[in-house]
């Protein structure tokens, strides 16, 4: 079972906020009134060396003591609220769990995702409340796939609404035009060999690779309105729109724009050698 962290964060933020607000409205005034009564009872409470000051201080600690739940709420709410705003509307970190985006992204890469470039969405329910930009061909995008609506996926935007996508003999064609590819190298990986190339899409170039030992999976489709066709850069080792279909606009999370750390496992040492923008 996958933990719904956005939902948990929303519950924590609103829960701690409600506890703080309830105390401020209903309980804190009573504590302030009790403190005022102590000051009347001990008029010389400000004299530091006097006996009344000591009695006042003891009484103030008793009547002004906040419940433990309120103390925790006041301590955690500001931190949780800042995390909530940053994560929900600005930037969210993700870790790459699979090799489907190799060689662009490696397993263990920690990336940053722009949450507002495709529009402001409400957390948890994902409704767009403010449109800004639309995905472009070549964008590396985080989304919820149609077959797993509670798990983040990351792939490259290949097809926009209305595009005719064809993938034959391990070459992409969009609306009848083959994407330019430049061969770079053939890399051994155990018993397998991978051909790495540079592919032009959406006005920029990105790395991609195919497996020399796997047969081509030919595919052709027309992208539906309001949907996007997604593919991994590791073309022969990627579960993407060729397998589970097109991604509806409502399931977009954001645009991946940078790698900020690489940490493959707890047994390894974090590395910053891959820090940089995502092409």
Residues 208, 217: Cα–Cα separation, whole Å: 16
Alpha helix stretches (DSSP H) within the chain: 5-22, 28-41, 51-63, 68-85, 241-244
**What pLDDT was estimated at residue 47?**
79
| pLDDT number for residue 2 | 58
Closest CA to 257 of 109, 86, 112: 112
Name the percent of the chain lying above pLDDT 90: 72
Q: Kindly indicate the confidence band of residue 1, based on its pLDDT and cuts at 50, 70 and 90.
A: very low
pLDDT of residue 50: 78
**Could you tell me the sign of the dihedral formed by the alpha carbons of 173, 119, 205, 278, in that order?**
negative
Which residue of the set 88, 100, 238, 241 is catalytic? Answer: 100
Q: Which residues of 202-214 are buried (b: 16+ CB within 10 A; e: fewer)?
A: beebbbbbbbeee
For residues 103-108, average pLDDT: 96
DSSP 123-167: TTT--EEE------TT-EEEE--TT-TTS-EEEEEEE-TT-EEEE
Main-chain dihedrals φ then ψ at residue 270, nearest 5 degrees: -55, 145
Nearest to 17 by CA among 89, 72, 86: 72
58-78 pLDDT per residue, tens:
888 888 889 999 999 999 999
Helix ranges, 64-139 (H): 68-85
100 is catalytic: yes
Read off the pLDDT of residues 190-230 as tens digits, 9 standing for 90 and up: 777 899 999 999 899 999 999 988 888 889 999 999 999 99
Question: What is the pLDDT, as a whole number, of residue 53?
Answer: 82
3-state SS assignment for residue 5: helix
* pLDDT digit string, tens, across residues 114-167: 999 999 998 888 889 999 999 999 999 999 999 887 889 999 999 999 999 999
Residue of 88, 115, 155, 255 with catalytic role: 155
Domains in the chain, please, with CATH?
5-88 (no CATH), 96-277 (2.10.109.10)
Strands 252-262 and 204-211, sheet pairing:
unpaired
- Taking alpha carbons only, the member of 104, 110, 99 closest to residue 263 is 110
Counting residues of the chain whose pLDDT is more than 70, the rounded percentage is: 99
Rounded Cα distance, 140 and 156, in Å: 4
Integer-rounded Cα radius of gyration of the chain: 28
Contacts of 226 (CB under 8 A, 6+ apart): 161, 248, 249
Select from 210, 189, 9, 193 the least CA-distant residue to 100. Answer: 210
Pick 86 or 45 by higher pLDDT.
86
Task: Reply yes or no on whether the pLDDT at 3 is more than 80.
Answer: no
**Mean pLDDT across 66-93:** 94
The total number of residues shown for the chain amounts to 279
């Amino acid at each position: 079972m996958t933990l719904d962290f956005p939902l948990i964060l929303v519950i924590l933020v609103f829960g701690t906020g409600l506890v703080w607000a309830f105390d401020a409205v209903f309980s804190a005034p009573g504590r302030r009134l009790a403190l005022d009564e102590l000051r009347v009872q001990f008029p010389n409470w400000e004299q530091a060396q006097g006996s009344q000051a000591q009695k006042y201080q003891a009484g103030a600690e008793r009547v002004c003591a906040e419940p433990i739940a309120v103390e925790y709420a006041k301590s955690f709410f500001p931190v949780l609220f800042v995390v909530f705003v940053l994560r929900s509307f600005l930037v969210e970190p993700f870790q790459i769990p699979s090799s489907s985006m190799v060689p662009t992204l490696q397993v263990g890469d920690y990336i940053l995702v722009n949450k507002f470039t495709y529009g402001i969405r409400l957390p948890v329910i994902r409704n767009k409340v403010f449109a800004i930009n639309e995905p472009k061909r070549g964008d590396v995008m985080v989304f919820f796939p149609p077959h797993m609506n509670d798990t983040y996926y990351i792939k490259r935007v290949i097809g926009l609404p209305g595009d005719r996508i064809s993938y034959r003999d391990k070459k992409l064609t969009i609306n009848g035009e083959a994407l330019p590819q430049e061969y770079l190298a053939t890399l051994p990986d155990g018993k397998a060999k991978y051909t790495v190339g540079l592919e032009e899409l959406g006005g920029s170039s990105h790395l991609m690779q195919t497996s020399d030992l796997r047969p081509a999976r030919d595919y052709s489709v027309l992208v539906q309105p309001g949907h996007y066709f997604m593919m991994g850069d590791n073309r022969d080792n990627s579960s993407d729109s060729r397998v589970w279909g097109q991604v509806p606009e409502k399931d977009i999370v954001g645009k991946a724009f940078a790698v900020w750390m690489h940490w493959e496992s707890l047994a390894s040492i974090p590395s910053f050698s891959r820090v940089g923008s995502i092409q």
